[in-house]
A and B are shown apart, each in its own frame.
Chain A
């Protein structure tokens, strides 16, 4: 009995001796729950932030990543996925976490600059090399011989931006809600499959070779061209598109419980730094910092961009009218005979 006790004591001493050097340099682990196309961006950004934090505080930060369709990722956080921060495709998905699980302060958009959207993007078209169907603008998507690939707006954030971009275009060009609905219905009638997330849709288009045009995040389109060959695809920039503002927030309930509020806030704040903005631009997100935007302007085609606030009166209303149960998307989908 005595020997067991002294053994335990010895083990305790050994463990302490092993742990002691690390007591000052704490090992912090954060979980960033994000949407599909940000995988490569955050992989690079996480390393930059870890280095920055190590220099600033001396602590080691490991940021773990989780990716999927923006809507389903938000659902997982609502169901208890332990995210310290969420970096989702659109404000509504962050709102959903705030409202359904009360895990995020409803005031979240005011906590970081630019409505908590550190980088922006837009929706462009990816077509096959040589553009065999001659697709130039939104009007070409309603032609009966064009197959369009876009994910499911019920689960994918990118798909909701796609839907609203098309709607906004038609609304301005044809002047009425009815005409816009008709236009968007025609586009959906040309969609052979609805994937659950943006990356799935990209793979359907580039890997499985389905469809003539992919409606994609600008960054996703440029990335797939760079990854899979300029000789296979090209990007078509429409005359008008939507300014997509992916939103970020800390998840209050989780960071308070885990004691990671300070580092989680710093993690998101650093997205606005020169280095964070440069990494965003390098991964084809449009930077919001004017200096970096100027520096990288050549990488991003110029086009007319409208905002969700101007055309749809913000995400709250857009979500309710278009994507809630029985909304425009459901009506359109039911009207298309499949």
Chain B
């Protein structure tokens, strides 16, 4: 039995707990409740119709396409950069780490504008692109590029500290024992980082689905073609179709909740692994 040595007064803990719970209730539970109650305000039939009408389906498909392309690319990019940073020494490493963080520091709207300035018809590559009939901004490629830019740091940021902490002893041993570089990666490096990697993938997935600002700038707002789910929600809201807006919003919210559950599960796994290791 442990005795609690408390310096703080007795009422502090319940007070802090109460404040936190109240805060969570007002800023999390209440808005979440509103989303679902508004979405179902006119019943399941209207809800179902709202998420299955052609423009909504197109928005869901586009969002999934964007996720399917950006998340794997960012995973490969993240692992490669993290490996480079954690296991090798070279000049300018600090600068590279700063550059990886850049998308976190840049406002999403600016991120979108960068691509308009590069690939818009008045932009640097505009004339060449239009000559060759290639569409980037105001089309799917632009949306994918903007999302890639925004979500690129997530995976790398998650696994760099993990890899640095582990050092390179295990890999070196594997190599000494005759494993090839590829074998070392699959059998030693990857198992060590897999939970952190998954965590990064989930975060980047959530952001890719929910990104609004950068995508809004490059989208062109063509209904049923270049509107992702968050943009579609905004359009519906602007057209006084509140139930439909909240129905699509509830899908995004559900995705967020699933992400949250997965995230907690992974954190629990990582915690357990750390306990076992010590």
Residues on B with beta carbons closer than 8 Å to the beta carbon of A16? none
Name which residue of chain A comes closest to B239, CB basis.
A39
Q: Which of B37-45, B65-73, B77-85, B215-223 is found at the contact surface with chain A?
A: B215-223
Knowing A80-B138, A82-B135 are in contact, say whether A101-B223 is a contact too (CB < 8 A): no
> Does A330 sit within 8 A of B, measured CB to CB?
no
Residues 60-100 (chain A) with a chain B CB within 8 angstroms: 64-68, 76, 78-82, 100
Q: Is the CB of B116 within 8 A of A79?
A: yes
Scoring B residues 113 to 136 as 1 if CB is less than 8 Å from chain A, else 0, what string do you get?
000100111110010001000010
Interface residue ranges, A against B (CB under 8 Å): 31, 36, 39-40, 64-68, 76, 78-82, 100-101, 199-200, 203, 224, 227-228
Q: Which residues of chain B have a CB within 8 Å of any CB of chain A? A: 116, 119-123, 126, 130, 135, 137-139, 220-225, 235, 237-240
Chain B residues whose CB sits within 8 angstroms of the CB of A203 once the complex forms: 237-238
When A80-B126, A80-B130 are in contact, do A65 and B223 touch as well, CB less than 8 Å? Answer: yes
9 interchain residue pairs of minimum CB distance: A80-B121, A79-B120, A227-B240, A81-B138, A81-B220, A66-B221, A199-B238, A66-B222, A80-B120
Query: Chain B's nearest CB lies how many Å from the CB of A328?
Result: 27
Point out the residues of chain A lying under 8 angstroms from B122, CB to CB. Answer: 78-80, 100-101
What is the CA–CA distance of A65 and B224 in the complex, to the nearest angstrom?
9
Pairs A–B under 8 Å by Cβ, sample size 15: A31-B222, A64-B224, A64-B225, A65-B223, A66-B221, A68-B221, A79-B116, A79-B121, A79-B123, A81-B138, A81-B220, A81-B222, A100-B122, A200-B238, A203-B237
Residue of B nearest to A36 (CB): B238
> Does more than half of chain B's interface fall in helix, strand or loop, or is it mixed?
loop
Cα A227 to Cα B138 with chains together (Å): 31
Tell me the nearest residue of chain B to A76, going by C-beta: B220
A65 and B222: CB pair below 8 A? yes
List B contacts of A40 (CB < 8 A).
239
Residues of B within 8 A of A78 (CB): 121-122
Contacts of B222 in A (CB 8 A): 31, 64-66, 81
Residues of B contacting A31 with CB < 8 Å? 222
> Which B residue sits closest to A80, measured CB to CB?
B121
Nearest-Cβ distance from residue B142 to partner chain A, whole angstroms: 10
Find the residue from A68, A79, A203, A228 having the highest chain B CB count within 10 A: A79
| CB-based nearest A residue for B120 | A79
Nearest residue (CB) in A for B129 is A80
- Enumerate chain A residues within 8 angstroms of B238, measured Cβ to Cβ: 36, 39, 67, 199-200, 203
A208 CB to closest chain B CB (Å) equals: 12
The residues of A that contact B121 with a CB separation of less than 8 Å are 78-80, 101
CA distance in complex: A224, B126 (Å): 40
Shortest CB-to-CB span from A83 to chain B, Å, is: 9
CA–CA, A324 and B121, complex, Å: 23
Q: Quick one: closest A residue to B226, CB to CB?
A: A66
Query: Which A residue sits closest to B227, measured CB to CB?
Result: A66
B138 x A228 contact (CB < 8 A): no
